């Protein structure tokens, strides 16, 4: 738990975000971004691997990695952030590996979504709920 006044205020703000917008507050934007990326095509739920922690150790720098065999592009969205687009990784025809890792900042508990455009032009999606918590009472 956090108890300095400064941290308390900061967490209060973060917590307010969590409470008010636990998930999909910007879902419309996220859906629009996905529709733009896929052109409205169907999206399969296999063909992409997406790794993120269940609970963030530090919401300001959350490690994620994505990979999809033969993908030409992978888009990552943080659905609950004020600005959901995180990154779109593009892979050229000579790319040896179709994977990427980075760290992202999360405003609160939310779904992080990855969508790959595969070699045959189809799309694959994976997502994970990443929890951002005050912590401090386990043991």
Partner 1 sequence: MISRRDFLQVSMAASALIGASGFGNWSRLAAQQRLTQDQLLNFDTFGNVSLIHVTDIHAQLKPIYFREPSVNIGVGRNRGEVPHVTGADFRRLYGIEDGSPSHYALSSGDFSSLAQAYGKVGGLDRVSTVINSIRADRPDALLLDGGDTWHGSYTCHHTQGQDMVNVMNGLKPDAMTFHWEFTLGADRVTELVEGLPFAALGQNIFDAEWDEPLPDLFPPYKFFERGGVKIAVIGQAFPYLPIANPRWMFPEFSFGIRDENMQAMVDEVRAQGAELVVALSHNGFDVDKKMASVVTGIDVILSGHTHDALPEPVLVGETIIVASGSNGKFVSRVDLDVRDGRMMGFRHKLIPIFSDVIEPDAAMTKLIDEQRAPFETQLKEVIGTTDELLYRRGNFNGTWDDLICNALISERDADIAMSPGVRWGPSLIPGDDITREDIWNVTSMSYGEAYRSEMTGEFIKVILEDVADNIFNPDPYYQQGGDMVRIGGMGYRIDVTKPQGERISEMTLLKTGEAIDPAKTYVVAGWASVNEGTEGPMIWDVVEDHIRKQGTVKLDPNTSVEVVNG
Segment near partner 1 (CB under 8 A), from 27-35, 40-48, 53-61, 115-123?
A: 53-61
Q: Does 133 help bind partner 1 (rule: CB under 8 A)?
A: yes
Closest by CA to 55, choosing from 84, 89, 18, 92, is 18
The C-alpha atoms of residue 104 and residue 86 are separated, in whole angstroms, by 7
Based on CB atoms, which residue is closest to partner 1, 81 or 109?
109
Closest by CA to 106, choosing from 73, 127, 88, 133, is 133
The C-alpha atoms of residue 136 and residue 139 are separated, in whole angstroms, by 9
Count of residues of this chain found to bind partner 1 when the rule CB under 8 A is applied: 32
Segment near partner 1 (CB under 8 A), from 6-14, 24-32, 66-74, 86-94?
A: 6-14
Site residues for partner 1, 68-107, by CB under 8 A, read 101
Based on CB atoms, which residue is closest to partner 1, 38 or 63?
63
Give the DSSP H or E segment for 73.
strand 73-78
Q: Does 109 help bind partner 1 (rule: CB under 8 A)?
A: yes
Q: Does 58 help bind partner 1 (rule: CB under 8 A)?
A: yes
C-alpha radius of gyration, the chain, whole number: 16
Based on CB atoms, which residue is closest to partner 1, 22 or 85?
22
């Amino acid at each position: 738990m956090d108890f300095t006044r400064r941290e308390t205020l900061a967490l209060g703000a973060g917590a307010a975000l969590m409470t008010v917008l636990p998930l999909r507050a910007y879902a419309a934007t996220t859906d629009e971004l996905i529709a733009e990326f896929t052109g409205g095509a169907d999206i399969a739920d296999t063909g992409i691997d997406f790794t993120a922690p269940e609970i963030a150790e530090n919401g300001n720098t959350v490690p994620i990695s994505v990979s999809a065999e033969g993908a030409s592009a992978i888009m990552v969205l943080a659905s609950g952030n004020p600005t959901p687009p995180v990154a779109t990784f593009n892979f050229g025809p000579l790319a040896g590996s179709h994977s990427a890792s980075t760290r992202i900042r999360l405003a609160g508990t939310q779904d992080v979504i990855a969508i790959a455009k595969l070699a045959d032009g189809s799309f694959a999606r994976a997502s994970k709920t990443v929890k951002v918590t005050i912590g401090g009472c386990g043991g």
